[in-house]
Structures are given as structure tokens and as C-alpha cells.
Amino acid sequence: MKPLNVAVIGCGFMGRAHTNAHRKVWNFFDVPYRPVLKVICDVNEERAKKFAERWGFEGYETDYRKVMQRDDIDLVDICLPNNFHAEVAIAAAKAGKMIICEKPLARDGKEALAMVKAVEKAGVPNFVSFNYRRIPAVTLAKQLIEEGRLGRIFHYRAKFLQDWTISKDVPQGGDALWRLDVKAAGSGVTGDLLAHCIDTALWLNGSIEKVNAMTETFVKERLHQLTGKVEKVGIDDACAFLARFSNGSLATFESTRYARGHKALYTFEINGEHASIAWDLHDAHRLQWFDHRDQGKVRGWRSIHVTDHGGDHPYMDKWWVPGLMIGFEHSFVHQLNDFLVGVASGKPASPTFKEALETQYVCDAVLKSAKTGRWEKVKKV
């Protein structure tokens, strides 16, 4: 097991989640490379220092360009606000580093395309952290679909509901709240939450042909933490859209931060000719499965507690014993394992930057449709 020197860029929520994965992955998985926490990078030196201490990094930097110049860094893990993804990723590609980038890949398709070109030119391993693919129940859904168990697909529906910005007193901009600042985030729920829904959908159900969307900004002005002034809110607070997939299925997508009672209710459901699947992030370890081929009198939705071993349930034999849940953070461990295995095997883990570009194009079409009020085609990757 060779060491792999890691630089994590950014100390926020995602910096913690990615760092935790680097620390844990080799305790549980037989990885081909063992991540070594070489450096944490943050513009705020005090924060970088504390983070390095808390997580056991060997050192820290305050300028990401220094990281790129260091020969002892193999992998750059980007955990910054969206507006820095392109800049840092392109620099890392030029420096020949492997790259993991937190989702969404960029603020829009144009930025994302530049990133794709950069990594392809550099020929470096690259990966986008759409972590929900690696929740075991979601990975199981993928397996069931790939086995052809659902037959022709008729419907896909997904939503991602939160309720943390209902109060008008929540400001925008700055450390924890850059997601409300359109300059930093690029968009609101579309890039932040629907990007997850779209990534999963493309993975499970194939390409989306066209979309028809509406967006709304319920709170029009908020205090901006960087300027200290009340400023217009530029993001979409809520977004819903209709979609048609290439396979002929119909879809509805919805996301909002104004759904009282839901903290992170990401749900999806797929209805096929023979079977249906449903999943819910609030009870992430369960997959709902309905198979019409079951005998009539005992046919029903099965609540699969995706915690079994023996090769049955993805990733679970690496953890505890059957029946015992794992949590949110474990999806990052799984994807890191898959990324490392991909690097070693030469079969890159999905989604690469190029694969994630498709999600970006769907987001672009969604935001455009919300303005034009009509169906917009999704640009082909």
C-alpha cells in the first residue's frame, strides 16, 4: 500500500467531510494507496493551523498556488466555494496533480467545460464528489437497474427539500453562507441541491433531453455579510422542473430551502414496467423496492435495510455487522476508495469531470427555461 500525499483545499463543512474520508478509508478498505494528510490550505491562517492540528495534517498553506508548486503533493482535494473550483482545479491540472473536486463542478457549463479541457489536456485522474451515489442503498438501486429488473422506465421523480433559509434574518455571503450569494455559488438550490438529484438521475436513468422549469426567490433582499449592506438576493430559493429523458420516461424535479419540516430530504423514485425503487436521504440506509413479479397476495413495497454482508449490499461488509447503520460521512469514504481503486486500475471512478459536465448542462438548461418559460434542450457533452 503506497502512500498518496494529499492536499485538502478549504476548511469548511466539506473540508471536514473529505479529510475524514482520507483518515478513515484505509482502516476499512483495502486501498491501493494510503492517503497521507500532507497539507491543509485555507486563506485564513488561524483556521488552517487549527484545522491541521485537529485533523493531523503535517502542515498548512494559505495560498493554494504554493500547494501546486510542491512536489510532495499527489492529490489536490478541492473543498472551496463554487467560484473557486475552476481556478484551483485548472491550476492543479497544470501542475499535474490528481484532482477531487466537491460538487457542483462549477457555477455553470462554461466554467465546467474549461475544467474538463484542463484535466483532459493534463491527463490527470479527476473526480467530482457527488457523494450520494455511494450511499449503499443508492448504489444498490444502481445495481438493480443495471440488472434490468425494472424493464421499460416510465417515471422518475426527485426532490431535495430543506427549510433553513425561511427566516428573513439569515444573511447572505461569507464563510458559511456563500451558498446564498449568487457570485460565489453561481445559483441557489439548482446548483447546490438539484445538482445532486440530476447527477443521480443521469447515472440511474440516462440522459435528459429537455426541461421546463420555474424558479422563485421568496426573500428578495438579505444582508450581505461581505459588504455589510442589504442587497438583492440573486439565487433561486426554489426550483421545480419537468423533464424528458432519452429513454422516453417523464420526470419531475423539485428543490427548495422553504419546505418546513425537512432538513435534507433528498428523495427519488423510479417507476418501471416491472418494478419500482424509492429512496430517502433522511432514512438513507433503507431502499424501498416493489417488484410486480412477486406473487400477488404477498406483493408489497419492501423496506430493504441495506446493512447486510456477504456481498449482498454494496460496501457494507467493510463496516460492522448486519443491522447496524452507517451515516452520511461514509459515502465520502466509499467514493474515496473507489477513486483510489480507479487510479490504480486505470478505470476511473465515476463521475469524472467530463461526466459531471452533463449535470452542469442540465442545470444551465433549467435556469434558462425558468427565464424563457418554455422547454429548453440540454446541450450534449
275 is a contact residue toward a copy of itself (CB under 8 A): yes
At its nearest, how many Å lie between a copy of itself and the CB of residue 142? 12
Instruction: Give the residue with the Cβ less far from a copy of itself, 117 or 318.
Output: 318
How far, in Å, CA of 18 to CA of 132, rounded? 14
Shortest approach of a copy of itself to residue 226 CB, angstroms?
Answer: 22
Stretch that binds a copy of itself, among 24-32, 101-109, 196-204, 346-354 (CB under 8 A): 24-32
Nearer of residues 5 and 126 to a copy of itself, judged by Cβ: 5
Which of 5, 200, 276, 352: binder of a copy of itself (CB under 8 A)?
276
Q: Report the largest interatomic distance among the alpha carbons of the chain, rounded to a whole angstrom.
A: 66
Give the residue with the Cβ less far from a copy of itself, 22 or 97.
22
The order of strands in the sheet holding 98-102 is 59-61, 33-41, 2-9, 75-78, 98-102, 126-129
Span 230-269, contacts to a copy of itself by CB under 8 A: 238, 240-242, 244, 250, 252, 254, 256, 258-265
Instruction: Write each residue from 27 to 56 as x if it is in contact with a copy of itself (CB under 8 A), else as -, in one continuous string.
Output: x--------------------------xxx
Q: CB–CB of 39/56 below 8 Å?
A: no
Sites for a copy of itself among residues 113-142 (CB under 8 A): 140
**What's the closest the beta carbon of residue 325 comes to a copy of itself, in angstroms?**
5
CB 126 within 8 A of CB 132: no
Residue from 66, 110, 121, 274 in contact with a copy of itself (CB under 8 A): 274
Interacting residue with a copy of itself among 44, 227, 246, 303 (CB under 8 A): 303
* 55, three cell numbers: 485533523
- Structural Rg of the chain based on CA atoms: 21
Measured from the CB atom, the residue of 172 and 249 that comes closer to a copy of itself is: 249
Smaller CB distance to a copy of itself: residue 170 or 250? 250
Query: Which of positions 64-93 make contact with a copy of itself (CB under 8 A)?
Result: none
Spatial separation of the C-alpha atoms in residues 211 and 197, rounded to whole Å: 14
CA dihedral 94→98→100→106, nearest 10 degrees, is: 20
Compute φ and ψ for 156, nearest 5 degrees: -135, 135
Task: Confirm if 207 and 245 have CB atoms less than 8 A apart.
Answer: yes
Residue with cell 427519488: 268
The yes or no reply on residue 175 touching a copy of itself (CB under 8 A) is no
Closest distance to a copy of itself from the beta carbon of 124 (Å): 28
Rounded to a whole number of angstroms, the minimum distance from the CB of residue 311 to a copy of itself is 8
Q: How far is the CB of 27 from a copy of itself (least distance, A)?
A: 6
* Single-letter residue type at 220: K
Give me the least distance between CB of 126 and a copy of itself, in Å please: 25
Q: CB burial class (10 A; 0-12, 13-18, 19+) of residue 341?
A: middle
Of residues 154, 94, 133, 76, the one with CA closest to residue 359: 133
Amino acid identity of 71? D
Contact status: 209 vs a copy of itself (CB under 8 A): no
The only residue of 103, 285, 334, 354 in contact with a copy of itself, by rule CB under 8 A:
285
Look at residues 119, 125, 121 and name the one whose alpha carbon lies nearest to residue 90.
119
154 touches a copy of itself by CB under 8 A: yes
Q: Nearest approach, Cβ of 64 to a copy of itself (angstroms)?
A: 23
**Spatial separation of the C-alpha atoms in residues 211 and 208, rounded to whole Å:** 8
